Amino acid sequence: ETGVTQTPRHLVMGMTNKKSLKCEQHLGHNAMYWYKQSAKKPLELMFVYNFKEQTENNSVPSRFSPECPNSSHLFLHLHTLQPEDSALYLCASSQGMAGTYEQYFGPGTRLTVT
Amino acid sequence: KQEVTQIPAALSVPEGENLVLNCSFTDSAIYNLQWFRQDPGKGLTSLLLIQSSQREQTSGRLNASLDKSSGRSTLYIAASQPGDSATYLCAVVVAAGNKLTFGGGTRVLVKP
């Protein structure tokens, strides 16, 4: 089991709902990431945070809103999603920003938008 | 724009056979390359990380090679076991930071 946890593991929501995904890392890392994994598409980076500051937004629609209150926690707030947003959302963390460090992934949240 | 390709998309081998998984990338100016394993419906587990200055990395039955000039990496898994059945993904980090660009993965089935 990795040091990155995600809750909930499964989520079904309607298009008008508001929900949040939570990620917590217990590894003492400084960088955290959100990825989206859709069927038949490669993993896509969504957001990167370093020392609680957002350093990358990979052209993600505003209906996805990240929040990083500290280096150990990362949230993804969801509102007015579309069915095509159904996917596995993965959180990851790494020790630093240099690209030298491995990224450690959580188990993911399987999101279904109805 | 960096693109990462993994061919084949799926592979089935009998137990005991060696596995060879391919990864190619379009821009050779990478910082490092990482191989991951993903079991169905689960997150990714890091297998090996190869720095751009290295040509290979080994961990147990796994060996990954890197040829930057030709834009290729190969993951070898010796003496495959049914427990090796999973999807294997490669990802590259470009020099500009920590962004991983993933390939589509190779789904491996090792038959007993």
Q: Is B43 close to A43, i.e. CB distance below 8 A?
A: no
**Among A25, A50, A105, the residue to mutate for chain B (most B Cβ within 10 A):** A105
pLDDT tens figures, B39-63: 987 889 999 999 889 999 999 999 9
Closest CB to A110: pick one of B34, B41, B45.
Answer: B41
Q: Is the pLDDT assigned to residue B96 strictly greater than 60? A: no
Write the CB contacts of B14 (distance below 8 Å, at least 6 apart in sequence): B110, B111
Burial B55-89 (b: 16+ CB within 10 A, else e): eebeeeebebbbebeebebbbebeebeeebbbbbb
At residue A102, the pLDDT reads 81
Average pLDDT score over residue span B94-107? 82
At residue B95, the pLDDT reads 66
Average pLDDT score over residue span B67-89? 96
**Residue A101: which pLDDT band, with cuts at 50, 70 and 90?**
confident
Q: Which residue of A has its CA nearest to B92?
A: A99
> Comparing A52-61, B32-41, B47-56, B81-90, which segment has the lowest mean pLDDT?
A52-61
CB B73 within 8 A of CB B6: no
Q: Is A110 close to B34, i.e. CB distance below 8 A?
A: no
Q: Is the pLDDT assigned to residue A18 strictly greater than 60? A: yes
Q: Reduced to 3 states, what is the DSSP secondary structure of residue B57? A: strand
**Residue A22: which pLDDT band, with cuts at 50, 70 and 90?**
very high
DSSP codes of every residue in B7-25: S-SEEEEETTPPEEEEEEE
